Structure 1
Amino acid sequence: MTVGVILNTTSSDLLIDDAVRQARQARASGLTSLWFGQTLGYDAPTLAAVIGRAVPGLHLGTSALPVFGRHPLLVASQARTVQAAIGGRYHLGLALGTKLISEGAFGIPFERPVGRLREFLTALRQLVHTGEVDFEGELLTAKTSLPASVPGAEPPVPLLVAAMGPQALRVSGRLADGILPYLAGPRALEEHIVPEVTRAAAEAGRPAPRVVAFVPGVVTGDADAVRPALYEQLSFYAQIPSYARVVELSGHHHPGDLAVVGDEKTLAEAVRRYRDAGATEVVVGATEADGDNSRVRTWEVLGELA
C-alpha cells in the first residue's frame, strides 16, 4: 500500500454509484489505496463502508475528520463499524481543522487545537484498541460504562493525523500511527516533518510512524493548459497559515508550485522523490484535472508504480 489516489467527492453531480464505479477503476488499475476528504457533503466514513463492501481488496482512507465538532466516543463507534464492515481495510484520518470551519460553520471557538488533538487521540486510541475508555482531560471527557463491542473490528483502526506543524507532529508521533501531510514537498518532508514525527515516536517508545504524503498531480499531454487551473484550485490553501508555512519550507511560494503536471515519467519521478524524502506512502489527487481520460491514465501509471 505504497501508492494511492484521492477520489474527488466534491463534484455536485457525483452519485454513490459513480463513486463505486471509480473505486472499481482504481482497483482494476492495480491500486490498493483510495482516499477521500470529509466535506459538508458526503460523510467520508459512511462512503468508505459503502465502497469497501463493493470493492474487495481496496483500502479506504478518510482524510481528514476535524476533531472540533466531534467526540472520540462517536468517532470510535463510526470507525470501528466501518472496520468491521470492510474487513479491516479502513484508515481513519483526523485533522485540527481551521478556524474558518470550526467557528464559521460549527460555532465552536477554535481554541487550544493541539491540546484538543492530544486529548482526542488519547481517548480515541484506547477506544479503537479496547472498546473502553475512562478519560477526563481539560478539554473533553470520554468514559464508557460498558465495553463497546463491535465484533469484527480488527485490526484496530489505524489513526493518522493531517499534521505538519511541530506541535501537532510531536503529538501525532506519540499517539497516532502516522501523519497525512498535504502540500508538503520533498524538502519539507526530509528536513522538517519526517525527523520531527519520527523523533517523537522514538521518544515514546513507538515504531516509526507512517508518512502518507498527499500530492496534487495529473498525467496530461497539455501541461500548459492544465497547470493554471490547478494553481487557481490550490490558491485557497495560501490563505491558511499552516499550509503557507509548509509550502515555504518546501522551497516554493504558491501551493500550485507543488502540483505535479506532465507525462508519465514526470509523475513517476515525483513519486520517487517523495519516497526518497521519507514518505512511506504517496497519495495523488487532482487526477481528474484534465478530464476522465487523464484520471484513468494517471491511475494506470500509479498502479504500475504500486
Structure 2
Amino acid sequence: MVDLHQIGIVFGSLTPPEALPSGARLAEELGFGELWFSEDCFFTGGMSGLTQLLSSTSSIPAGLGLASVMTRHPAVLAMELAGIARLHPGRTRAAIGLGNRHWLEQMGLLPDRPLTTVAETYDAVGRLLRGDAVDTPTSQHHFDDIALAFPPQSPPELWIGAVNERALRLAGARADGVLLSVLASPTYVRWAKRVIASGAQEAGRPVPRVTAFALAAVDDEERRAVDAVRDAVGFFVGAEAHTALVTRSSLASEIAERRATGGAYAVPDHWVRDLAVAGDPDTVTERIGALLDAGADSVGLWLFPPERLSVTMRQLSDSLAGPAVAEG
C-alpha cells in the first residue's frame, strides 16, 4: 500500500504562474506529502515559483528542483534561499545541480568541469546559509569576504540533483537529500540508491533521503493515460539517452538500437510503462510502489495533461487515501 505522504506534486513548466497558488493549496488539502517546483528555462523562475508554493500553503514542505549552479552566483542563490527559509522555517528545501545542458549552452554558461562546479557550489551555499563568510574563489565563481546579512536560524535542506554515477556518489557523501530526474525507472532507482549509499558509507554518514521525479498520468482508461505522457517520454529519452537514466534502465539496449536507426520513431507503450507512471489508479499505485520498493523515499509526480491537474490530484487522493476534499 502506498502512503499518500510519500507522494509529491511537481509544478513547473506545465503550470502558468497564476495557477500555482490554487494547485498548491489543493495538493496540501488532499494530503500529499510534499511539493516541488521545477525551474525549467524559460518558463517560470524557481524562486518565485517556490515562494508561491510556500506562501499558498501552511505546513507542507516545498522544494526547488533544481537550481542550476551556473544561472545564479552561489552567494545570490544562498541569499534568496535564506529569505525564503526565514519566512517559511522548516518547510524549505532546494536541490542544486548542473541543470539542462541545452539551456546552459543557449546562455553560454556550460562549465568545463561540471561536477567540480556542483561540489564547490554546494559547499559555498551551505556555508553561507549556516552564517559563515566565504572568502575562497572556486573554479567558476569569485568570493571576496561574502557573508549573508540575514542567514536563517534554521537553514533549509540543501539537496543535490544527480543522474550519473559520480554525481550520485557525491550526493550520497554530502547532500541532505538526492533528487532523481524523470525517467527514473525502478531498475535505475535501485542502481542509483546503491551508488548513493556507497558515497554515504565512504563519507561515514547516513544515506540521505531520495526523491524520484516521474512523468505521470492517471485515467480510468489506461490508453488515455499512456498517450498523455508518450510525447514527454519520447522527448526525455532523446535528451537523456547518453545518461544513466537510460543506460542503466532495463530498456537500454532496445532504446540504443531504436535510436541507431535514425529518424523519427514511435515511443512504444512498454517504454512509457517502464519510464513513467501512467495508467488507471490501480496501475499508477503499483508503479509508484515499485519506485518506492526500489529505494525512493518519495515520488514526485509531474502530472499530465496539465489542464486536468486538479482532477488528477483528486483522483489520486481518492484512490490512495479515501474520499477527496469537496470542491470549495
Cα deviation 1:177-230 (Å, max 9, x = unaligned): 12111211111111x211111111221122211111111222211221231231
When residues 288 and 86 of structure 1 are mapped into structure 2, their CA distance, relative to the original with a 3 A threshold, is farther
The answer to whether the aligner puts 1:213 opposite 2:207 as a matched pair is no
Q: Cα distance 1:10–1:81, how it changes in 2: closer, same or farther (>3 A)?
A: same
Q: Which residue of 2 aligns with 1:223?
A: 222
When structure 1 is superposed on structure 2, of 125-134 and 18-27 the one drifting more is: 125-134
Aligned partners of 1:134 and 1:144 also within 8 Å: yes
Which residue identity is paired with 2:291? Y
The reply to whether residue 89 of structure 1 matches residue 91 of structure 2 is yes
Instruction: Report % sequence identity.
Output: 24
Q: Show the counterpart of 1:266.
A: 283
2:70 equivalent to 1:72: no
How far off its partner does 1:90 sit? 1.0
Contact 2:225 2:279 survives alignment (8 Å) = no
Separation in 2, partners of 1:272, 1:238: 23
For residue 275 of structure 1, what is the aligned residue in structure 2? 292
Which residue of 293, 297, 301 maps to 2:315? 297
- Helix, strand or coil: the match of 2:22? helix
* Cα distance in structure 1, aligned partners of 2:24 and 2:66: 19
Q: Does 1:36 align with 2:37?
A: yes
SS in 1 for 2:170: helix
CA contact (8 A) 1:161 1:176 kept: yes
The offset of 1:158, in angstroms, is 1.2
Unaligned ranges ≥5, structure 2: 256-266, 323-328
CA spacing shift, 1:54–1:226, aligned 2, 3 Å: closer
Aligned to 1:55: 57
Inter-partner Cα distance in structure 1 for 2:136 and 2:161: 23
2:40 matched to 1:23?
Answer: no
Deviates more, 1:124-133 or 1:235-244: 235-244
Q: Distance in 1 between matches of 2:226 and 2:83?
A: 40
Alignment map for 1:47-196 (pairs within 5 Å) = 47-104=49-106, 106-145=107-146, 147-150=147-150, 153-182=152-181, 183-190=183-190, 192-196=191-195
Report if aligned partners of 1:27, 1:58 keep a CA contact under 8 Å in 2.
yes
**Change beyond 3 A, Cα 1:81–1:242:** farther
Q: 1:4-19, aligned counterparts within 5 Å? A: 4-11=8-15, 14-16=16-18, 18-19=19-20
The answer as to whether partners of 1:216 and 1:285 remain within 8 angstroms in 2 is: yes
Question: Counterpart of 1:188 in structure 2: which amino acid?
Answer: Y
Task: Report the secondary structure of 1:142's partner residue.
Answer: coil
Task: Spell out, residue by residue over 1:81-122, the C-alpha distance to the aligned partner (whole angstroms, 9 max, x if none).
Answer: 111112221110222123311121x12244211111111112
Computed over aligned residues only, the root mean square deviation of the Cα atoms, in angstroms, reads 2.3
Gaps of 5+ in 1: none
Deviation at 1:37, TM superposition (A): 0.8
1:23 Cα deviation (Å)?
0.8
Amino acid at match of 1:7: F
Find the aligned partners of 2:217 and 2:242 in 1 and give their Cα distance: 21
Determine helix, strand or coil for the equivalent of 1:228: helix
Distance 1:142 1:149 in 2: 15
